[in-house]
Amino acid sequence: MGETEPTQRPHRVRVNFGADRGGGDNRPVTSTAATSPAPGLSLGSVHVDTPVVLAPMAGITNAAYRRLCAEQGAGLYVCEMITSRGLVEGDQHTRDMLVFDELETVRSVQLYGTDPIYVGKAAEILCAEYGVAHIDLNFGCPVPKVTRKGGGGALPWKRGLLGQILEAAVAAATPYDVPVTMKTRKGIDEDHLTYLDAGRIAQESGCAAIALHGRTVAQAYSGEADWDAIARLVDHVDIPVLGNGDIWEAADALRMVEQTGAAGVVVGRGCLGRPWLFRDLAAAFAGEQVATLPTLGEVTGMMRRHAELLCQHMGEERGCKEFRKHVSWYLKGFAAGGEMRRSLGLVDSLAALDALLAELDPTEPFPVQELGTPRGRQGSPRNRVVLPEGWLEDADGSSCRLQEDAVEITGG
């Protein structure tokens, strides 16, 4: 097992990783069953048995983490975001990110771009050379270094430009029968909302679905996600809408689908340090009444599996370094002391990791106070979103050509 370079197009009919859900136990402690569980999710030629998508997260959703999550339950697992210019110009870092696990038969990639020509060419490369099954376009990133150049969550303000980019991607992917979707936010801020127009444009451009993060760019990851906006978008378009924001437990996903009518959910920060969330999601959408509450021993087993997969894909030295960022998420709420956490944050080999994990109490119960609480970055809302000069003066932007960065490592 390890990195695989694309040589031919993988089979793309169904996504089903449900046969292998190892690690941890399922205890019927809370009811997460829907009265009428949602069916699978169809995105053009791609069918997902469980209507759940792993959101691409920079430095997180690499091939190892996607494999780890896929071992827990069915869903669609999206590669880290790459830039269209970087791919077209052959940037090595961008190419290095396009690595897929050997069992990853359905390849899903999120593409960032602000220029229709670059985006179209990049979509062609992904389809022809990397055998991707699904392309998602990022129009939701709230990071200032992206929005100040008109990218990410700022771009949908330019309705004409948004349409040109989507049309270019769809035109490039259609001959390969690869569906194109887009992810966006409510808008720049509450005074400059774009999501309803974005949904209409996505539908008119031939997109297979649109995902909406129920926050504005100004909110970033603060506050609460507006699920009512997701419901309004569902009523506004005929293509599937995926809801994103504040899904911390499987019950949240069912509640979002029920309240909004969304065709599925996109899960990001909620799975940090908790890849077994995808097991709960698969079970919940299947109508089962389960929730995973692993002991610390079971969590350390998941940690070891995660580190092992990283090392198999990246080599032991780099894999262990990549694993360090996940330690605090896995141990959130557990009693592991500061010295232990510091040591795990410096681990440089699997042997060292094994020795440290062996010192933890395997019988310690899961900290139930952590259930339903936010994970990962939150931050504070911004008083002003950084935008290109005069950006808000023109809401069309058909003739606008923005300079793309060759490398951008973020998400939305």
Dump the DSSP string for 5-65: ---SPPP-SEE--TT---SS--B--S----SS----EEETTEEESS-EEEPP-TTTSSHHH
Cα 202 to Cα 100, 124, 140, distances in angstroms: 28, 19, 14
* Catalytic residue, candidates 79, 141, 311, 320: 141
Only one residue has tokens 């003066």, namely 393
Overall size of the chain counted in residues? 412
How do strand 134-139 and strand 180-185 relate by DSSP bridges? parallel
| Spatial distance between the Cα atoms of 389 and 392, rounded to a whole number of angstroms | 8
Q: What angle is formed at CA 13 by the lines to CA 412 and CA 132, rounded to 5 degrees?
A: 45
| Spatial distance between the Cα atoms of 316 and 334, rounded to a whole number of angstroms | 27
Do the Cβ atoms of 15 and 43 come closer than 8 Å? no
Q: Mark whether 127 is an active-site residue.
A: no
CB atoms within 10 A of CB 338: 7
| Spatial distance between the Cα atoms of 376 and 272, rounded to a whole number of angstroms | 7
Cα 262 to Cα 50, 53, 168, 258, 276, distances in angstroms: 13, 13, 26, 8, 23
Residues involved in catalysis: 141
